[in-house]
Amino acid sequence: MAFKDGQGYFTTDKAGNCPCGFGFNGKGFEWIPNAVLDLKEFRIEKDKVYLTYNTVEDIKTIEISMREMSDQTLTLAAIAPFADGPITIKDVEHIRHHESNRISVICESLSRLGIKVEEFKDGLKVYPGNPKPTLLNTHDDHRVAMSLALIGSRVDGIQINDPGCVSKTCPQYFALLESLGLNIIQH
């Protein structure tokens, strides 16, 4: 199916099961074939594509290339401890050279939370666990601060030093979290 000036498409696997791939604005996205049971919603808003679907069953283990969406790597790593199985993130070696060495920083943070994590040259593997309350270092990196704050939505007592570093991209980030019902305490 083509849409929006022919810039996007769905693909099928060899057996005709679908969708297992999607392209938009020159970028391709893939997910585990047969994991998609029922595409519930598909919509385009400006330059974003939204897909909502049900899965056949809980996905116990995920290995995903985040190369095309590396800015979301830390967000996925931060929510990974709450998954049913380990999540492996790969193809993001380049995020070691951003505001911080983001792979090492998120691995250090998850370890401080008591979460088992393995660090690779191009990514990491996060195992399910129960994060414990602790003070976490943002390393003056806005994406680190924002992703670690998400853990605080599920675990009381998460503290983040230098949360103001989010001002680089989203100064209202913590106010937005409060508007969602999170209890944000500033010291």
Residue 71 annotated as catalytic: yes
- Angle among Cα 112, 123, 25 to the nearest 5 degrees reads 125
CB 55 within 8 A of CB 36: yes
In the three-class reduction of DSSP (H, G, I as helix; E, B as strand; rest coil), residue 178 is classed as helix
Locate tokens 């380990």: which residue?
86
Distance separating alpha carbons of residues 34 and 10, to the nearest angstrom = 14
Sign of CA dihedral 93, 95, 101, 103: negative
* Structural element, H or E, at residue 149: helix 142-151
Locate tokens 């679907």: which residue?
53
Locate tokens 């990491």: which residue?
124
Query: Which one from 13, 71, 84, 162 is the annotated catalytic residue?
Result: 71
DSSP assignment, residue 131? Answer: P
> Which two structure tokens, joined as six digits, stand for 19?
């969708």
Task: Give the active site residues.
Answer: 71
